Amino acid sequence: MTDRDAQPLLSLSKISKRYGGVRALEDVDFSCSAGSIHAILGENGAGKSTLIKIMSGVVQPDTGSMTLTGTPRRFLSPAEANAAGVVCVFQELSLMPDLSVADNISIVGPPTRLGLIDAKAQRRRAEELLASIGCEDVNPLLNVRDLPLSRRQMVEIAKALGKKPQLLILDEATSALTNSDVATIYEVLKRLRREGLSILYISHRMHEIEELADRASVFRNGRHIETFPMGRYGHGEIVELMIGREISAQYPPKVKRERPAPLFEVKKLTWENRLRAVDLSIGKGEIVGLGGLDGQGQKELLLALFGVLKGVTGEVTLDGKPALPGSPAEAKAPSRRIALIPEDRKTEGLMLPMSIAENLCSASLDALSTGPFIDRTKEEVAITDAIKRLQIKIGSPGDAVATLSGGNQQKVVIAKWLMTNPRVILLNDPTRGIDVGTKQEIYALLRQLADKGAAILFYSTDYDELIGCCDRVAVMYDGAIKVELEGDGITEQALIASALNIDAGAAARSGHGVHG
Amino acid sequence: MTGSTPDWLIRLRQNAGLASAIALFAAFYLVYNMAHPKGFSPQVFVQNADEAFALVMVAMAQTLPVLLGGLDLSVGAVMTMVNCLASHLVVGSPLQIFFGMTACIAAGAAFGFMNGCIVVYGRIQPIITTLATGAIAIGIALFLRPKPGGKVDEDLSWALTNGLGDFAETYHLFDDGKAAWFQPIAGIPVAFVLLILVVLIIWVPFRRTVIGRTVYAVGSAEGAAFMSGLPVNQAKLAAFTLAGVFAAIGGLFLAIQTSSGNADIPQANSYTLNSIAAVVLGGTSLLGGSGSAIGSLFGALILRVISFNFRIFDIPPLMQSLVEGLILLAAVSLGGLRVLRIKNRLELFR
């Protein structure tokens, strides 16, 4: 069971890729063979996405080379990779919402008659491809916009199969599927393996990988750690391979103390089918982490608590009084004072062309105004305070906020919300893509805010942060909180095991994971 | 959502904008004909078709840039430019007339292509590009026709702005239009037939090319279109060029209809603004990606039939603008109902 003697279908050698100062892949050698389902494992940010983006021509590597069936290749665009038989089903969908299912499936190279697109042939093609993955119920006439997410994902898979791939890459392609779809996809993938395709399968669901894959590769911090046939290692060992790194960031010390009385309580919060009866409570001065894999409802929970989502049911209380806001404006009103540091600072956090000063004041203009007019003096005092408090490095407050570095932009977003003097602070992955120094300052700031009495709910995709910063961590899976870890029980093993929703005891012999 | 819904219902839902435009037009037009003393007669039909043709063309022209997610502020000006050009070229021998008409449409196509090049290669937003080039087109029109005037072949003018019977009589077809089989269709306006020909010969095939589909894909999700390896730039060039062609056909017809050229600036601007209204009334999204030129055709007809009704019901001119505005607003509001279904308010801004 060592490496197959046959020539690998695709192999990468010494591939490296950096984004700005961030190392995404370093010196990676990797290969995959025909007739195999090959799982790729790793934590968030381990370099899996960059790897498949390089294979499918979305980004080009800085260094290194790639060979396909023995010939050196370099894909400058996804279209080139597709033409060579490398097809990727991305996590972010590539479908055009206003076009029909049939149009989307045959978007490249549709069947034509007399030079014009043959709508009937195109529809038959769509029907055949959809039938091959058990999706006869999707009418190819429908616009993609009108399909539920799970069906869209199946259309995406049908579209990929229509390109007749030799190497099919599935990036979390099953994350939104229903159980019966997943079962069909398993059968399809196994059939394709028998037909000699090479399939790269990226998933965070350990059960799926065990069921499907014959080989697995573990990535960590942009490096390829090990490739092994499935069955060589147990769950626990695989999780250890995925972690295996020293904790690098510095965190402020946590104070051991009694759990404070709840200040902010959430009961049976439900929205569409993305949040399923979430129960959570945060005490005064407490930092509660939100863990779990991407897309398990963490973002929706934060948005719901900030009044962005319509049709939320359940109970939210602040200091015992009902506090579920109907809009962000209500959320930040003096009676609630809830703040949300949003996910994407470029679209939801900042008005990039406006000045640093204007951005800082944008959430607290009501407090800085006299009548209908903004009070210049108050504004200046507040701005100077905020800049000093967060040590934002700026030229002048009048500069456009777009001119700042990512870390300083993020500080502006945080400062903007601290100016509203919030009692509840919701953070949506606030340290993504910023430098270590700023991260440390943010950690210290969060602890300081908690000590002054704020209740903090902190979603992070970085397990280190959750361990280092939080008094408790609520781990979400499939729209609900499955496990709450507390104190010394917040370990990497326990976090990963509960994020994958597998038995904590099997994964972490020393973990203290508690089933909720 | 899936499976059980019959195909016709799906098609109807996807074309709800078009369907309601047709319904609205039919209702207004029925009222008009019932109130008109000569309602439902060929004369009324001919007159209406002639009055609507140019606006329909300009509205179809506007549709293509809108499908891409932009706006073309030069369509009315291009129409006016070609109108002035036609008042010089569409005279003389049949061959001269033919080449004159070809040159007119080629001029519109070239102008649209230029717009496309500036948008694609200059990376300037369509709205500002066409604001500037629209002024240029008006400049050219004024240069060609400093004062209203010129001449268009009289036979052609008569033949194209009346019924099929007159057309046949002018050009001595079908026993001067007296053939017995010809009588049932002799009353159909030529402008109406031209309209159908334009739709069948230009729009329908275009919609079914890869380039045509790419126009929709770009308006729907430009990033995804690019990532799918679609010919994004060619589609934009084609869309603006085709817009120029449609506007030119409108201008050419206007010249034939009025037998003259007129560099009328207020008229050019009102055609441009009305074309945007027509596109929206026809169910095309200003965000791009969904809708069709056929919708815009009916949108333009709605605008025209509103003014026909003003005439027939003697609405005082002082009230007309107000009433027209209210009708437009009400019609367009129907399209906004979708917003009520959105559950994540952030999606409203995406």
Provide the pLDDT confidence category of residue A58 given band limits of 50, 70 and 90. confident
d(CA A29, CA A203): 20
d(CA A389, CA A360): 13
Q: Which of A288, A313, A91, A333 is nearest to A204 (CA)?
A: A91
CB interface of A with B, residues 262-321, below 8 Å = 271-272, 303, 308-311
Contact of A499 with A475, CB cutoff 8 Å: yes
pLDDT, residue A240, reads 77
Using CB atoms, which residue from A98, A107, A148 is nearest to B228?
A107
Lowest mean pLDDT among A132-141, A200-209, A210-219: A200-209
Amino acid in the structure at residue B282: G
Tokens found for residue A286: 């407490």
Model confidence pLDDT, tens digit, residues A216-236: 999 887 889 889 998 888 777
Provide the pLDDT confidence category of residue B239 given band limits of 50, 70 and 90. very high
ipTM: 0.73
β-strands A86-89, A167-171: how paired? parallel
Model confidence pLDDT, tens digit, residues A402-415: 888 778 888 999 99
List all residues 6 or more positions away from A336 whose beta carbon is below 8 Å from its beta carbon. A318, A323, A325, A330, A423, A424
pLDDT, residue B125, reads 93
Residue B339 forms contact with A (CB below 8 Å): no
Residue A513 forms contact with B (CB below 8 Å): no
Residue A99 and residue B205: Cβ atoms within 8 Å?
A: no
d(CA B30, CA A195): 63
pLDDT, residue A301, reads 94
Phi, psi of A346 (to 5 degrees): -70, -30
pLDDT, residue A367, reads 84
SS3 content of chain A, % helix, strand, coil (to 5): 35, 25, 40
Distance (Å) from the alpha carbon of A411 to chain B's nearest alpha carbon: 23
Amino acid in the structure at residue B138: I
DSSP secondary structure of B119-183: HHHS---HHHHHHHHHHHHHHHHHHH-SSSB----HHHHHHHTSBHHHHHHHTT-HHHHT-GGGG
Residue A138 and residue B345: Cβ atoms within 8 Å?
A: no
d(CA A389, CA A411): 10
Residue A183 forms contact with B (CB below 8 Å): no
Model confidence pLDDT, tens digit, residues A445-471: 999 999 999 999 999 887 888 888 899
Query: Which one of B208, B222, B347 would you mutate to disrupt binding with A, by most A Cβ within 10 Å of its Cβ?
Result: B208
d(CA B322, CA B304): 16
Average pLDDT over residues A375-389: 89
Residue B345 and residue A147: Cβ atoms within 8 Å?
A: no
Residue A120 forms contact with B (CB below 8 Å): no
* A506 has a pLDDT exceeding 70: no
Tokens found for residue A176: 């939104």
Provide the pLDDT confidence category of residue A244 given band limits of 50, 70 and 90. low
Contacts of residue B224 in chain A, CB cutoff 8 Å? 93-96
Model confidence pLDDT, tens digit, residues A346-364: 778 888 888 898 889 888 8
Q: Which residue has the higher pLDDT, B139 or A77?
A: B139
Residue B289 forms contact with A (CB below 8 Å): yes
Where exactly are the structural domains of chain B? 56-150+213-331
Distance (Å) from the alpha carbon of B315 to chain A's nearest alpha carbon: 41
Q: Which of B261, B244, B250, B293 is nearest to B136 (CA)?
A: B244
Model confidence pLDDT, tens digit, residues A176-208: 677 777 888 888 899 989 999 999 998 777 777
Model confidence pLDDT, tens digit, residues A94-129: 788 889 999 999 988 888 888 888 989 999 999 999
Bridge partners of B261?
A: B149
Contact of A260 with A288, CB cutoff 8 Å: no
Provide the pLDDT confidence category of residue A440 given band limits of 50, 70 and 90. confident
Using CB atoms, which residue from B3, B205, B220 is nearest to A98?
B220
Contacts of residue B8 in chain A, CB cutoff 8 Å? none
CB interface of B with A, residues 216-235, below 8 Å = 216-217, 219-221, 224-225, 227-230
Which chain B residue's Cα is nearest to A348?
B346
Which chain B residue's Cα is nearest to A79?
B229
d(CA A381, CA A377): 6
Provide the pLDDT confidence category of residue A92 given band limits of 50, 70 and 90. low
d(CA B152, CA B88): 8
Distance (Å) from the alpha carbon of B65 to chain A's nearest alpha carbon: 16
pLDDT, residue B234, reads 92
The two counts, helices (H) then strands (E), for chain A are: 17, 24
Compute the C-alpha angle A244/A246/A248, nearest 5°.
Answer: 145
Bridge partners of A428?
A: A459
Contacts of residue A116 in chain B, CB cutoff 8 Å? 205, 208-209
Residue B2 and residue A138: Cβ atoms within 8 Å?
A: yes
Residue A107 and residue B343: Cβ atoms within 8 Å?
A: no
Phi, psi of A16 (to 5 degrees): -130, 150
Q: To the nearest whole number, what is the mean pLDDT of chain B?
A: 90
pLDDT, residue A513, reads 38
Residue A119 and residue B2: Cβ atoms within 8 Å?
A: no
Average pLDDT over residues B261-281: 93
Provide the pLDDT confidence category of residue B338 given band limits of 50, 70 and 90. low
Count A/B contacts: CB-CB distance under 8 Å: 97
pLDDT, residue B49, reads 94
Give the helix/strand (H/E) hosting A263. Answer: strand A262-271
Bridge partners of B201?
A: none
d(CA A513, CA A504): 6
Average pLDDT over residues B303-313: 90
CA A481 from chain center: how many Å?
17
* B1 has a pLDDT exceeding 50: no
d(CA A34, CA B99): 62
d(CA A40, CA A34): 16
Residue B341 forms contact with A (CB below 8 Å): no
Q: Pick from A39-48, A363-372, B283-292 the range whose average pLDDT is largest.
A: B283-292
Lowest mean pLDDT among A446-455, A504-513, B293-302: A504-513
Phi-psi map region of A174: left, alpha, beta (phi>0 left; psi -120 to 50 alpha): alpha
Contacts of residue B217 in chain A, CB cutoff 8 Å? 96, 99, 107
CA B264 from chain center: how many Å?
19
* B12 has a pLDDT exceeding 90: no
Percent of chain B with pLDDT strictly greater than 70: 96
Residue A77 and residue B229: Cβ atoms within 8 Å?
A: yes
Average pLDDT over residues B241-256: 96
Residue B344 forms contact with A (CB below 8 Å): yes
Residue B345 and residue A308: Cβ atoms within 8 Å?
A: yes
* B251 has a pLDDT exceeding 90: yes
Contacts of residue B342 in chain A, CB cutoff 8 Å? 310
Provide the pLDDT confidence category of residue A514 given band limits of 50, 70 and 90. very low
Average pLDDT over residues B250-274: 93
Model confidence pLDDT, tens digit, residues B326-336: 888 887 787 66
pLDDT, residue A511, reads 39
Model confidence pLDDT, tens digit, residues A21-57: 667 888 999 999 999 999 998 776 678 888 988 998 8
* A499 has a pLDDT exceeding 90: no
Bridge partners of A40?
A: A202, A217
Q: Which of B195, B201, B250 is nearest to B85 (CA)?
A: B250
DSSP secondary structure of A273-333: TTEEEEEEEEETT-EEEEESSTTSSHHHHHHHHTT-BSS-EEEEEETTEE---SSHHHHHS
Contacts of residue A143 in chain B, CB cutoff 8 Å? 14, 290
Residue A56 forms contact with B (CB below 8 Å): no
pLDDT, residue A508, reads 44
Contacts of residue B3 in chain A, CB cutoff 8 Å? 137-139
d(CA A289, CA A473): 4
Query: Tokens 């700023």 map to which residue?
Result: A438
Model confidence pLDDT, tens digit, residues B187-221: 899 999 999 999 999 999 998 888 998 999 999 88
- Structural domains of chain A in order of their starting residue, each with its CATH number: 10-243 (3.40.50.300), 249-337+423-516 (3.40.50.300), 354-421 (no CATH)
Contact of A94 with A114, CB cutoff 8 Å: no
Distance (Å) from the alpha carbon of B343 to chain A's nearest alpha carbon: 5
Tokens found for residue B345: 């308010």
* A2 has a pLDDT exceeding 60: no
* B227 has a pLDDT exceeding 50: yes
Name the CA dihedral angle for B194, B197, B198, B202, rounded to a multiple of 10 degrees.
-160
Model confidence pLDDT, tens digit, residues A318-352: 998 999 998 888 898 888 999 999 887 877 888 88
d(CA A99, CA A244): 46
pTM: 0.77
* B7 has a pLDDT exceeding 60: yes
Using CB atoms, which residue from B7, B209, B346 is nearest to A308?
B346
Residue B96 forms contact with A (CB below 8 Å): no
Q: In what order do the strands lie in the sheet with A262-271?
A: A275-283, A262-271, A313-318, A321-322
Amino acid in the structure at residue A444: A
Residue A107 and residue B216: Cβ atoms within 8 Å?
A: no
